[in-house]
Structure 1
Amino acid sequence: MPDLRPDAHPGDAPALLPDGLALGPVTLRSRDPDALVPFYRAAVGLDVLARAEGGVVLGAGGRPLVEVVRDAAAPLPPARAPGLFHLAVRVPDRAALAARLLAARRLGLRLGASDHLVSEALYLDDPDGNGVEIYRDRPREAWPATEDGTIAMETLPLNLAALSGEATEEGGPAPAGTDMGHVHLKVSDLDAARRFWVDLVGFTVMAAYPGALFVSAGGYHHHLGLNVWHSAGGAPPPKGSTGLDHFEVRLPGDGVAALAGRLAAAGWPFARQDGGIVTADPSGNGVAFRAAG
């Protein structure tokens, strides 16, 4: 891999990604995609948008959010390998989050829950062990700021009794407006991850905690989480392993062309595909950058 030390390109300021950046679907690799469908339909509220021999596409309001590729021979990744910490499906309001809480309870699923000050979140694992967050944002004007201008986030207990009282239905399909709010990755080296995702790709650091960074574009609390809590020093999993194949980032305007120029100038390997570019971070996490719309 090319050298991405902070002094590798002296005099170059990090190029910021466009404010209109959004995340597209997360693509998972599974030995048996059909075994994941009941979870994503009943627990997360996603609809099956397409199904074929090669896998399944699930989403909400016609928007693809999770694509599962079938690979019966896919190896399992080592326990401490980098990869997906969780994908995060964002629902538009508290009632929709409450509906997912009731659905998870009805299904008897193991559930985590946190108040992050900027958002309220539920945490589940799909049948393959992929982490799934379902969350709703608090209004942006209510997000607390730190003295240095970054966003204050915490992991506090979520009042599930109060949340469940706001449900207008139990489960059901996720409402229109549901999207992929962020993706949280396990990485092997946090400094290397920062040099790639911040200094080269162009995300902005919004919060930093022991062993973790949260980065975004356009002032969002985070489009991407990066942590070494369980993966410090871990080698990338074998190619084609189950779990994260890649996730999609959509860039407005000339964002894709500008990013391709930065990657090329840095000598970072990437490929052009379907009008976008595909690459991987230093930990082997795959990402596709495509034009918005």
Structure 2
Amino acid sequence: MPVTRRHILALAGVTTAAAALPGALTAEGITDNMAAQANLPFALTTPIHCGEVALRVRDLDNMVAYYRAVLGLAELSRTKEGATLGAGKTPLLHLITTPDAKIEPVTSAGLYHVAYLMPNRAELARWLVHIAMTKVPVSGFADHNVSEAIYLMDPEGNGIEVYCDRPRENWQWNDGVVTMGTEQLDVDGILALADTTKDTFERAPDLMRIGHMHLKVGDLTKGDAFYVAAAGLVHTRKGREDAAFLSSGGYHHHVAMNMWHSKGVGARESGQTGLAWFSLEVTDNETLEAQRSRFETAGFAPKSLTDGRGFEVIDPWGTGLRLVLA
């Protein structure tokens, strides 16, 4: 039986696209290209952009199975410390095995979601058919003007967004501020790009990447001191007291911060499940050294990585940020 709009809506436990909006609004804190492209998505071509992410997990086998089955990630390596998964041969996700760890509470700072960027709308469509046919529950989906997104949660409570960007020439900017809303997703328009009679999504496309990271923080001013003043990202939206959106090179956002569940919290309890670290890649050594200098001046004590590619610094809530050469 072909996948229809009704099947997609059922994944979120609703019968209309309007009813699915609350889940997407919650995910964003508010209570095209059919052919595969030869080049990386724009998000990955900016001077600073997202690289990899590491999560501490209790049940390694179960989590590996989930990310392989749902996102189509390939298991690239496994050691006694954990497993590395990726798209094609590109590592994206490190799962660190911590079987005795406590589950991190939702009110803690840390990860809100990891956003996996599909290279085009057609790949998002194939994936949407896949999760419909395999009956993967979702928590919401929405059109954000600059992108189209589906939200879900992994078995240990880590948020996931799977999205594709609209052509950037269609993004609306005004004085450095990009228009990003949360509206009903055009499910029918996406499904029109895929064969809805069968599941053709066997693995993640080679050009799928982490497009942005969305974090929970306790204080936006402290977040600015770390991710803007020291890391070198810039604001792309203004006027919100509960969230901030930051980017490099004219992307809509590479890092988001919110206080929707975590306002006023301090450093996370070490060793709990959830986000261990994520990386931002920079395109030149001059930028990397400038970042290191700013972090040192601000008292954040950068520590060089053993592979020589860059350094790691810990944000005010205990999350590791790795700055590395692309």
- Provide TM-score, normalisation by structure 1: 0.89
Match of 1:239 in 2: 270
* In 2, Cα distance between equivalents of 1:107 and 1:236: 38
Match of 2:137 in 1: 110
* In 1, Cα distance between equivalents of 2:107 and 2:96: 23
The answer to whether the Cα contact below 8 Å between 1:45 and 1:100 also exists between their aligned partners in 2 is: no
* In 2, Cα distance between equivalents of 1:199 and 1:54: 34
Helix, strand or coil for the counterpart of 1:283?
coil
Q: Decide which of 158, 162, 170 is 1:130's aligned counterpart.
A: 158
Match of 1:15 in 2: none
Match of 1:196 in 2: 226
In structure 2, what residue type is equivalent to 1:246?
W
Match of 1:152 in 2: 179
> Does structure 1 residue 218 correspond to structure 2 residue 249?
yes
Match of 1:180 in 2: 210
* In 2, Cα distance between equivalents of 1:81 and 1:235: 8
Q: Decide which of 35, 38, 51 is 2:62's aligned counterpart.
A: 35
Helix, strand or coil for the counterpart of 1:262?
helix
> Does structure 1 residue 207 correspond to structure 2 residue 234?
no
Helix, strand or coil for the counterpart of 1:207?
coil
The answer to whether the Cα contact below 8 Å between 2:103 and 2:156 also exists between their aligned partners in 1 is: no
Match of 2:31 in 1: none
The answer to whether the Cα contact below 8 Å between 1:75 and 1:238 also exists between their aligned partners in 2 is: no
In structure 1, what residue type is equivalent to 2:118?
V
> Does structure 1 residue 267 correspond to structure 2 residue 307?
no
More helix by share: 2
Match of 1:5 in 2: none
Alignment of 1:47-126 (within 5 A): 47-111=74-138, 112-126=140-154
Q: Decide which of 29, 32, 49 is 1:22's aligned counterpart.
A: 49
Helix, strand or coil for the counterpart of 2:152?
strand
In structure 1, what residue type is equivalent to 2:187?
L
* In 2, Cα distance between equivalents of 1:44 and 1:19: 25
In structure 1, what residue type is equivalent to 2:259?
V
Helix, strand or coil for the counterpart of 1:36?
helix
* In 2, Cα distance between equivalents of 1:170 and 1:126: 22
Q: Which runs of 5+ in 2 are unaligned?
A: 1-44
* In 2, Cα distance between equivalents of 1:258 and 1:145: 28
* In 2, Cα distance between equivalents of 1:83 and 1:166: 36
Match of 1:250 in 2: 281
Shift of 1:210: 4.2
Helix, strand or coil for the counterpart of 1:188?
coil
Match of 1:7 in 2: none
The answer to whether the Cα contact below 8 Å between 1:48 and 1:57 also exists between their aligned partners in 2 is: yes
Shift of 1:167: 1.7
1:58-87 Cα offsets, whole Å, 9 max, x none, are: 111211111101111222223300010000
In structure 2, what residue type is equivalent to 1:114?
A
* Structural RMSD (CA): 1.6
* In 1, Cα distance between equivalents of 2:276 and 2:93: 11
Helix, strand or coil for the counterpart of 2:122?
helix
Which deviates further from its counterpart, 215-224 or 76-85?
Answer: 76-85
* In 2, Cα distance between equivalents of 1:79 and 1:21: 29
1:3-58 Cα offsets, whole Å, 9 max, x none, are: xxxxxxxxxxxxxxx94222111100001121112221121121111122221111
* In 2, Cα distance between equivalents of 1:45 and 1:240: 28
The answer to whether the Cα contact below 8 Å between 1:33 and 1:70 also exists between their aligned partners in 2 is: yes
- Provide TM-score, normalisation by structure 2: 0.80
| Structure 1 residue runs of 4 or more that deviate by more than 3 Å after TM superposition | none
1:160-218 Cα offsets, whole Å, 9 max, x none, are: 22212212454221112111111100001112111221122210101133411110111
Shift of 1:97: 0.5
Matched length: 274
1:234-293 Cα offsets, whole Å, 9 max, x none, are: 23321121010000111121222221111112222221112211112222222111111x
The answer to whether the Cα contact below 8 Å between 2:151 and 2:160 also exists between their aligned partners in 1 is: yes
Match of 1:14 in 2: none
* In 2, Cα distance between equivalents of 1:282 and 1:178: 30
* In 2, Cα distance between equivalents of 1:268 and 1:172: 43
Q: Which runs of 5+ in 1 are unaligned?
A: 1-17
* In 2, Cα distance between equivalents of 1:182 and 1:158: 20
* In 2, Cα distance between equivalents of 1:290 and 1:90: 20
